[in-house]
Chain A
Amino acid sequence: MSQPVLHIENLQTHFFTDRGQIPAVDGVSIKVHKGEVVGIVGESGCGKSVTSLSIMKLVPNPPGKIVGGTIRFKGEDLVTASEKRMREIRGNEIAMIFQEPMTSLNPVFTIGDQIGEAVRIHTKASKKESRQRAIEMLKKVGIPRAEAIVDEYPHQLSGGMRQRVMIAMAMACNPELLIADEPTTALDVTIQAQILDLMRQLNRDADTAVLLITHDLGVVAQMCHRVVVMYAGKVIEEGDVRTILKEPKHPYTIGLLNSLPKLEESQERLYSIPGNVPIPGSLTTGCRFAPRCEQAVDRCRQEMPELVAVGENHRSRCWLSV
Chain B
Amino acid sequence: MAEVNVQSVPLKQTDEQIISPWREAWRTLRKNKLALVGMGIIVFFVLVAILAPLLAPYPYDVGDLKMKNQPPSEEHWFGTDYNGRDVLSRVIYGARISLWVGTFAVIGSVVVGTILGLLSGYYGRWVDTLISRIFDIMLAFPSILLAIAIVAILGPSLQNALLAIAVINIPTFGRLVRSRVLSLKEEEFVMAARAIGMKDSRILLQHILPNSMAPIIVTGTLGIATAIIEAAALGFLGLGAQAPEPEWGKMLSDSRQYIQKAPWTVIFPGLSIMLTVLGFNLIGDGLRDALDPRMKN
Contact = CB atoms under 8 A, between A and B. Distances in A.
Contact of B196 (A100, A109, A121, A151): A121
Contact of A106 (B10, B193, B199): B193
Where chain B touches its partner, the secondary structure class is helix
A58 B194 contact: yes
B142 interface: no
Interface stretch (B87-95, B130-138, B183-191, B282-290): B183-191
B193 A96 contact: no
Contact of A58 (B9, B18, B20, B195): B195
A105 B192 contact: yes
A237 B196 CA distance: 31
A145 B187 CA distance: 28
A104 B194 contact: no
A169 interface: yes
A91 interface: yes
B217 to A, nearest CB: 13
Interface residues of A, number: 37
B196 A91 contact: yes
A145 B13 contact: yes
Contacts of A98: 188, 191-192, 195
A292 to B, nearest CB: 32
Contacts of B211: 106-108
Given A87-B197, A98-B192, A105-B192, A153 B20 contact: yes
Interface string A83-94: 000111111100
A107 B192 contact: no
A207 interface: no
A91 B21 contact: no
B13 to A, nearest CB: 6
B197 A58 contact: no
Q: Chain B: interface residue count, which band?
A: 20 to 34
Nearest to A103: B188
Contacts of A148: 10, 13-14
Given A145-B13, A152-B18, A103 B198 contact: no
Given A91-B196, A96-B195, A107 B21 contact: yes
A106 B18 contact: no
A58 B21 CA distance: 30
A108 B21 contact: yes
Interface string B190-210: 011111111100000011001
Residue among A58, A108, A155, A166 having the largest count of chain B Cβ atoms under 10 Å: A108
Nearest to A90: B197
Interface in A249-298: none
B145 to A, nearest CB: 39
A90 B195 contact: yes
A79 interface: no
A86 B20 CA distance: 33
Residue among B9, B18, B188, B195 having the largest count of chain A Cβ atoms under 10 Å: B195
A56 interface: yes
A117 B196 contact: yes
A71 to B, nearest CB: 15
Contacts of B14: 148
A30 to B, nearest CB: 19
30 contacts: A87-B199, A88-B197, A89-B197, A90-B195, A90-B196, A91-B195, A92-B197, A98-B191, A99-B188, A100-B188, A106-B193, A106-B210, A106-B211, A107-B21, A107-B211, A108-B21, A108-B210, A110-B18, A117-B198, A121-B197, A122-B197, A145-B9, A148-B10, A148-B13, A148-B14, A152-B18, A153-B18, A153-B20, A166-B192, A169-B192
Interface of B: 9-10, 13-14, 18-21, 187-189, 191-199, 206-207, 210-211
Interface of A: 56, 58, 86-92, 95-96, 98-100, 103-110, 117-118, 121-122, 144-145, 148, 151-153, 155-156, 166, 169-170
Report, nearest first, the 4 A-B pairs whose CB atoms are least far apart: A91-B196, A90-B197, A91-B197, A118-B196
